[in-house]
Amino acid sequence: MDQGREKILMKQFGENLKKIRNERKLSVRGLADLADMDYTNISNIENGQSNPSMTTIIFLAEALQVDPKELLQFNK
């Protein structure tokens, strides 16, 4: 697996998550509460430091009330 590409995709996913979270006027802690996750995990994802699992993506999408594919729509 191309680690450089993986880092780019993680960063883009994090930026997209943050954009959608901000559109919903949620803090990191607010989203963490809704998704039943630790806020540091969300912070790490938003900062491109963590590669979320499919389950995590679904939990975040449910908390944000969006289709999971909306979280995955970003420049490749």
Query: What one-character-per-residue DSSP string does the chain give?
Result: --HHHHHHHHHHHHHHHHHHHHHTT--HHHHHHHHTS-HHHHHHHHTT-----HHHHHHHHHHHTS-HHHHT-S--
3-44: per-residue pLDDT in tens? 898 999 999 999 999 999 999 999 999 999 999 999 999 999
pTM above 0.85, yes or no: yes
47-76: per-residue pLDDT in tens? 999 999 999 999 999 999 999 999 999 765
Strands (E), 1-76: none
